[in-house]
Chain A
Amino acid sequence: SAVISQKPSRDICQRGTSLTIQCQVDSQVTMMFWYRQQPGQSLTLIATANQGSEATYESGFVIDKFPISRPNLTFSTLTVSNMSPEDSSIYLCSVGGTGFSYEQYFGPGTRLTVT
């Protein structure tokens, strides 16, 4: 399985600012996913990021709020823009679709607190 790292691991930000979260994989992967997880809750998919194409966003998430880059097969970023306290959450990236397999492997997450 791929080894996935995320930066930063945690941050405390002021409302109205933006934070960019980086996701690095140790091997080339087809698909990368960005999730949000509220404390004690399950995972909510924000978007799917494929290299060379625009990210596909799920209902309730828009590109202006959560712009995503996928410049190559090992790296992606998620930006949380114009943050409010409601954006306080854990943000997770995962990789999947390798070898036409459906399992996903996750990074350690970024814990974001907006004050």
Chain B
Amino acid sequence: QKEVEQDPGPLSVPEGAIVSLNCTYSNSAFQYFMWYRQYSRKGPELLMYTYSSGNKEDGRFTAQVDKSSKYISLFIRDSQPSDSATYLCAMSALDSNYQLIWGAGTKLIIKP
């Protein structure tokens, strides 16, 4: 079993829809959670960074962490064709030498 599970998709939704992207993990020591967006032929771009449980909102993006369920989510409201990309979750534990454990990435397609 992988430490971080993420459905690779692709996930195709119409423009304007609410998108939900998810990761589950097995290591209860994870405390730092990140979501990255990667466009084709580009490096990953940090979207959201959260510590421990709770919600964090930034514009159309909301990140949720539920440590009791070992489950994190990224919600995208009013999705746009420009949101079409691969979304990767990553997480880390204290004393991990700042190394990140990555999900497989979900390819998201927003249809105009």
Taking beta carbons and an 8 Å cutoff, which residues of A are in contact with B? 1, 4, 31, 33, 41-43, 45, 48, 56, 92, 94, 96-97, 101-109, 111
| Sample (30) of A-B pairs whose CB atoms are under 8 Å apart | A33-B99, A41-B105, A42-B102, A42-B104, A43-B102, A45-B100, A48-B98, A48-B99, A92-B43, A92-B44, A96-B98, A97-B98, A101-B49, A102-B49, A102-B92, A102-B98, A102-B100, A103-B32, A103-B34, A103-B46, A103-B49, A104-B34, A104-B98, A105-B46, A106-B36, A106-B44, A106-B45, A108-B43, A109-B42, A109-B43
A-contact bits for B20-62, CB 8 A (1 contact / 0 none): 0000000000001010100001111110010000000000000
Number of interface residues of B (CB under 8 A): 21
When the two chains form the complex, which single residue of A42, A104, A108 contacts B105, counting CB atoms closer than 8 Å?
Answer: A42
What residues on A are CB-neighbors of B36 within 8 Å?
106
Determine the residue in chain A with the shortest Cβ distance to B88.
A42
Chain A minimum-CB-distance residue to B49: A103
Inter-chain contact A31/B43, CB cutoff 8 Å: no
B98, A42: Cβ atoms closer than 8 Å = no
Known: A43-B44, A106-B44. 6 other contacts (CB 8 A): A101-B49, A104-B34, A106-B43, A106-B45, A109-B41, A111-B41
> Does B68 count as interface, using CB distance less than 8 angstroms?
no
Q: How many whole Å from B1's CB to the nearest CB in chain A?
A: 16
- Given contacts A42-B105, A102-B98, are A107 and B43 in contact (CB under 8 A)? yes
Inter-chain contacts of A4 with B (CB < 8 A): 43
Complex CA gap A97/B94 in Å reads 12
Residues in B with CB closer than 8 Å to A101 are 49
Q: How far is the CB of B101 from chain A (nearest CB, A)?
A: 9
